[in-house]
Structures are given as structure tokens and as C-alpha cells.
Structure 1
Amino acid sequence: MNEYANSLKETLTSLIREMAAAPAPYVKNPEKDFTRKKKLPFETVMQLLISMGGNSIYKELLESQGYNVNAATTSAFVQQRNKILPSAVEFLFHAFTQSYTDIKDYRGYQLLAVDGSDLHIATDSADTDTYFQSQPNTKGYNLLPLNAAYDLCNRLYVDAIVQPRRLCNEGRALAAMVDRSPIKGKTIVIADRGYESYNNFAHLERKGWNYVIRVKDLDSNGILSGLRLPSSGEFDRDVHLTLTKKQTKEVKANPGIYKFVPSTSTFDFLDLHENLFYPISFRVVRFVLPHGAYETVITNLSAADFPPGEIMSMYNMRWGIGVSS
């Protein structure tokens, strides 16, 4: 193992030991849980939780304990695991991520790729929020959608949100990660079409961040379908709109100025009482790919600093999150 990997492992181990020294904030019953000496203390259970593979719990326990005949049983592990709050793993994730201070950047910006993926979990037909059947009378499966933010320059996950599959909302996940992020410096978020929404643009803008988000193309029912843009080819156009939930005569008569946001669309900074209008500006950049197809992105980066060619190159960098795991 190289020096860098060793240092990361030492940092992670040190953080777990600090938590184990005072586990009360991370367990369900602070006065009782992990107060007596057992085969599976808090530190060991946490290490197992983040290192287990896809084998059965018993096999993972045997491997971790050198196939010792006196290894802890599956039931013992489950009992100890159930004492730990989910927030303990979340705390460890953020503490470990924030311990990394040698941050590399791209032209002074931290580049975050955001993407979603489904996690297959143990089959449980009673868990209706995550259980699916492709056809009646067939064996089903359970899924948990994961939305993650990945630092492309530093190869580091900085945040993640897991949602029940039937209640998943990629847009909400991105907005939540943006709002709670401790990152203070210049940041560019690169994301795919699942995150296309005025609400996400506004959350990113209010955070002081920039974004490059792929959107559905011109012939779709996405954001572009309601904008006045060229009907084909490559282009780079500035768009200035005022979003509103009102449907007055003025709004209806000026579709190039106002964009009506229906009640079925989420937008956190508008209502029908005090916050009636929300001005928003962005660029729509459409470019051709090497094989002839077109892609379109919406960004709030300036054309002077980031011309279309660089926007395309930057967007292609997002694939880093796909191979990160």
C-alpha cells in the first residue's frame, strides 16, 4: 500500500477511535450501548460496516477475524449493529472527507460531479417504499437511490443522499446537498439531465456556485421547449427570465420575459403572496459530439471565461464519477 493510501487509512482509523472513545452521540441508548466489553466493540462494528463486501455476514465476520473458531456470530453482529445510529456513519463520512485539506482545483474552481445510481439491497417485500416486481408472481427486488457529489480533481466523494426508491427526487437531493455544503470557495457543479430544473439552478445560484447541467434537447418537453432558441445546429445563447406563479395578462402577453411555474413544479423561492417574481439568467450552449449527435447544457458561467469548447470539455469530465467506485 502506498504512502497516500496509508495516510488515508490512518486518518479513518483515528476518526473511528475518537468516536469509540465517546460513543454516546452515535448510539440509540447512550447509557447502555457499548458500555461493556464484548467481542464486537463500537470500533470493530464501525470498521466492519464500512469494509464489508457482498458475502454473507457470517463469512465477512470470519474473514475479518482470521477464520477464528471463536469469531463473533451473525446474531451478535446484528445486535451490536442495531445499537448504532445511521447518523454515526454519516458523521464519519463527513469528518473523513473534511479532513482532506490539500484540495486541487480547475482554474481556481472545485469541480463537483453529481449523479444518481440505484443500490440493490436485501429483498424485503414488506418494504413497499423500496420493493419492486417487474411482473406479477415473479421474485421482486429492493432499490435505494443514491445521489452523490464527487470532487473530480481530488477523486473524493463530498456528500451523498440515499432515498427510498418510490419517494426519490433527484432534484430535491441536489438542492439539499448544495444548501448544506460547507464548501466556501468557487465551485462548479456538473450534472446530467435528471437534475434539470429551475429550482436547482436557483439553489446553486444562491449558494454562489456555478453549474453546467445537461438538459433535454430542443425536441423534448424539457426547459428548452419553452425558450426562444434556434431550432437546430450549435449555438450559445444568453437567457434572461422572470419566473412567477402568477398568471396575469402581462405574464401571458410576454412569454419571452416571464416563465410561469405551475403548482406541480417545485420552486422554493416563489409564492403567491410575498415572493411573486424571481429573475434568473443563464446560458444555453448546444454543441455537436464527435459522432454527430448534439448535446445541450445550461450554465451560469460567463462566455468570456468559458467558451463553448471548454464547456463541452468540462461536461465530459463528469464521467469521472461513473468510474470512481
Structure 2
Amino acid sequence: MSLESQLANTFRSCNTFHHFDKYSDILSPELIQQGFEQAGVATVRRRRLPLEAVLWSVVGMSLFRQQSVWDIANQLDIVLPDKRRFVAPSAVVQARQRLGEEGVKQVFKKMAAHSYQSSNFETWCGLNLLSVDGVVWRTTDTPENHQEFKAQRNQSSENIYPKIRMVCLMELTSHQLIDSAFSDYRTSEMRLAEELIEQTPDQSLTIFDKGYYSLGLLNRWNKVGQERHWMLPVRKDFQYDVVHKYSQSDAIVAIKTSPQARKKFSDLPEIIEARLVSKVIKGKEYQVLTSMRDGLRFPGEDIVELYRYRWEIELGYREMKQTLLDSEYTLRSKRPDMVRQELWGILLAYNLIRQVMTKAASNLDSVWPNQLSSTSSAMAVTQYFAALPLTSPGKLPKHYEVLLQPISMFILPPRRDDRNYPRWVKLKPNLNYRLEKMPVSLTDWHYPARRFFI
């Protein structure tokens, strides 16, 4: 090979370095490589659409909801240079299949863990506030998705669209996702929540809904790790024995476990001690069960008030479906493996936006990331991604700082605590329609001149 050819190959290789360095301020290339190695998809073969490019196109499917995957790959300028300016649409599809769902999943998990460990969140009594809750996603109506994910059904009929049940673990002050698990629609949320136990960080308080009352799940959640506390409201028929009373509305109670629960959870003892705190709000008594039994460190007056922060995870799901996906609730992928890949891409794209918001909020005083507008921030991040191909590599740090400045100004007004929206039962529709005895048919007799037919 001549010296001229060697220099040409060298400059061609150097010209490709900045294609993915443009996104390093948002997502570290080291984390991407670690995720690919964990998933077993890392390769040294050079392609026009390397795995990093495919990953960003999957993320772009959530940011640019109205565009095809092929348009996204070309717009983000993530295709390595060649004689042809664009790649074929079939090449993008094959590249997504080559990446698979596991590659995007591992990158999300690596990024979520790194972002949580590197951020300083607001705490309560030294504990980070977390929450676990479920959400349902709708997939396209294909036979493969019906067989894989199942559909909602009742006694008389079955829903048209297959659905996916997902459970997420979220940090409440920033809305950043820590971990997620999903399966077909008929899998219970408590079963999916068990998959999140290992990734739950220490020194944390996880707030559950009352539907997650499972002594085996709660006991394991508390015992694995250090200071992994939980709390949830209990039903009125809750059975317990009082062990010690801090006050009239605050006590340590003993709860008997069932043989069925001990059979399912081998580490579950016959009796569990927890703390039961009650409070009357607007004439109604609320009871909260928690593993925080230290009455001096954890004030009982604040424990019941903490439960209202559980609503933050519901707001996070709204941000994903309405803001990020523009209220287009049906996922665009048609194969089950690509559906799962798209879901992990949605979670990754959402976390990237929340990470930028957390960074912007850190430059402000006494402002939490969840006090910034998610809609305006998502638009700013999307515009940032769209403008990256036109930005020279040397100006990228400056453009990232410029991105943080307007997001720091998207502060929402204080929430009104006096707003009350009581639940109402919707009226059932009247389906007793009058049927025509002799329905009219559109025939040539009604349109003799055939003026209305093409």
C-alpha cells in the first residue's frame, strides 16, 4: 500500500471519531461500551452503522416521534462517511436487529446506576426518596405481539391491542429512573417488583401503593442491603398486635405471616415487626405501615405526609407518554424483540432528559429537578440533538452549557395544595340504539347517473 493510501485511510478514520463524541456530554461512550460488553454485542468490525449509531437511532425514536427510524439516523448524522450520503432503510432495520434488546437494556442500566451515584439528591432524614409503581404500554396489533404479550380481556371480549406491564423504580425529587422490569400484560406488578430488589440503592425509602402489600416482598426489600426502608398505606381490615406505643397514633406492631407467603419467600419469618402511623386528614383517618421503627430518627408526624410524594412517579409516567411520545400511546415496532428494544430506548431517552434537568437544577438554589418544566426541557433537549450535526466538535462543551441555561429558567410555579379533585363515577353510555327495520342500501337505483361513484 502506498503512503498516499495509508494517509487517506488514517484521515478517514480520524474523521469518524467526532461522530459519537458529539453526544458524550449527554451519554458517556465508556458507559455505552460497558453496556455492549455486558450484553455480549460488542464488536470491532467497522460498519457504516456501528452499534453506537444504532443506539442513538433507537433513542431518537422517542425524541423524534413523527419521523421514521431511517430519517432519524440520517438527521442525527450518525452514519459513518462513505461514497453514498445515506443508508438504505433496510440497513437500519438490520442494524436494529443486530443490536437487539439486550444492548439497549444494559446501556440503560449502566447509565441509570451511574447517574444515581454521581448525583446529589435531596434526602429526608438521610434517606433518598424512591417509589415503585406500574404502567401499561400498548403495542401494535400483530399476531406475534398477541402471542408474546397478551391482551386485556373480560368475560365477553378481548382488547384489540396487546399490552405490556411495566414496573419502574424512580427517584422522586428528580424523576430519574433507577431500574425497570416489564413482561406480558398478565404478569402481576408484585412479581415484577421482585426483580427490582437487587438494584435498590442503600440509604433509601421506597414508597409503595397499597396494592403492593406483600410481607414477603417488603421483608426482602428491607433485608437486602443497608437501610433500605419502605412504606405503604394499609387497608381498614389490617390485622396486627401492638408491641410498643410511641403515642396514640404511632406504634410498633407485630404482623403474622401466612404459610403460603413463607413457602414462596423462604427468608420470611412467622412474625414481622413494623411501625404503624395514623393521622386524621379532613376528617378521614389514614394509616401508613413502614419499616422505619426508630421513633427518634424518623418523626411520626412527617411519615404520613411523605406518602403524597408517591404521586411523583405518576407524573413521571405522564411525562413519558404525553410529553416524550406526544400522546401516541401505541409503540411503533411490530416484532416482540423490537418492541422490547423500543421500550428500553424510551426509558433511556427519558432518563437522558431528566439527567440534563438534574444538572441544570444543581446550578440553582433550593430548586429540585422535578420543579422544572419537563415539556420545555424535552423540547430543548430535542432541539439540541437536532442541531448537533451542524456543530463543530470544538464548540460542543459551549453548546451543552448553553443548553443548561434555558432549562434552568423553566421553573414551574408552586403547586397548590388546596386543589381537590374528587373521583367521580362516569355515566355508562346508552347503547339502546333504535334499529332501522329496512336499512337503506347504496345502489345504482339511488344514483342513476353514477355521479357519486369513481
Q: Structure 2-normalised TM-score?
A: 0.53
1:123, 1:131 within 8 Å by CA — same for their partners in 2? Answer: no
Give 1 or 2 for the bigger CA radius of gyration. Answer: 2
1:144, 1:162 within 8 Å by CA — same for their partners in 2? Answer: yes
User: In structure 1, what is the equivalent of residue 233 of structure 2?
Assistant: 214
Moved more, 313-322 or 137-146: 137-146
User: In structure 2, what is the equivalent of residue 10 of structure 1?
Assistant: 25
Match of 1:192, as an amino acid? Answer: D
User: In structure 1, what is the equivalent of residue 166 of structure 2?
Assistant: 146
User: In structure 2, what is the equivalent of residue 124 of structure 1?
Assistant: 142
User: In structure 2, what is the equivalent of residue 61 of structure 1?
Assistant: 70
| Higher relative contact order structure (alpha carbons within 8 Å, sequence separation ≥ 6) | 2
1:188, 1:211 within 8 Å by CA — same for their partners in 2? Answer: yes
Query: What are the equivalent positions in structure 2 for 1:151-300 lying under 5 Å apart?
Result: 151-166=171-186, 168-181=187-200, 183-184=201-202, 186-207=203-224, 208=226, 209-215=228-234, 217-219=235-237, 224=238, 226-227=239-240, 235-241=249-255, 258-262=256-260, 266-270=264-268, 277-290=269-282, 292-300=283-291
Task: Work out which of the residue numbers 300, 304, 307 in structure 1 matches 2:296.
Answer: 304
User: In structure 2, what is the equivalent of residue 110 of structure 1?
Assistant: 128
* Cα separation, partners in 2 of 1:133 and 1:24, compared to 1, 3 Å: closer
Quote the Cα distance in structure 2 between the aligned partners of 1:8 and 1:322.
29
Higher-strand-fraction structure? 1
Higher-helix-fraction structure? 2
User: In structure 2, what is the equivalent of residue 97 of structure 1?
Assistant: 112
Of all paired residues, the percent bearing the same amino acid is 19
Task: Work out which of the residue numbers 46, 50, 56 in structure 2 matches 1:41.
Answer: 50
SS across alignment from 2:253 = strand
1:134, 1:140 within 8 Å by CA — same for their partners in 2? Answer: no
User: Are residues 1:79 and 2:94 paired?
Assistant: yes
Match of 2:68, as an amino acid? Answer: K
Cα deviation, residue 152, structure 1:
1.7
Q: Structure 1-normalised TM-score?
A: 0.72
Cα deviation, residue 27, structure 1:
5.0
Quote the Cα distance in structure 2 between the aligned partners of 1:117 and 1:71.
38
- The count of corresponding residues between Structure 1 and Structure 2 is 277
1:125, 1:140 within 8 Å by CA — same for their partners in 2? Answer: no
SS across alignment from 2:75 = coil
Match of 1:240, as an amino acid? Answer: A
Quote the Cα distance in structure 1 between the aligned partners of 2:214 and 2:94.
43
* Cα separation, partners in 2 of 1:8 and 1:151, compared to 1, 3 Å: farther
For structure 1, the 5+ residue unaligned runs are: 1-6, 242-257, 271-276
* Cα separation, partners in 2 of 1:75 and 1:36, compared to 1, 3 Å: same
For structure 2, the 5+ residue unaligned runs are: 1-21, 78-83, 243-247, 320-454
Cα deviation, residue 150, structure 1:
0.8
Quote the Cα distance in structure 1 between the aligned partners of 2:279 and 2:288.
9
Quote the Cα distance in structure 1 between the aligned partners of 2:241 and 2:76.
67
Quote the Cα distance in structure 1 between the aligned partners of 2:205 and 2:312.
14
SS across alignment from 1:319 = helix
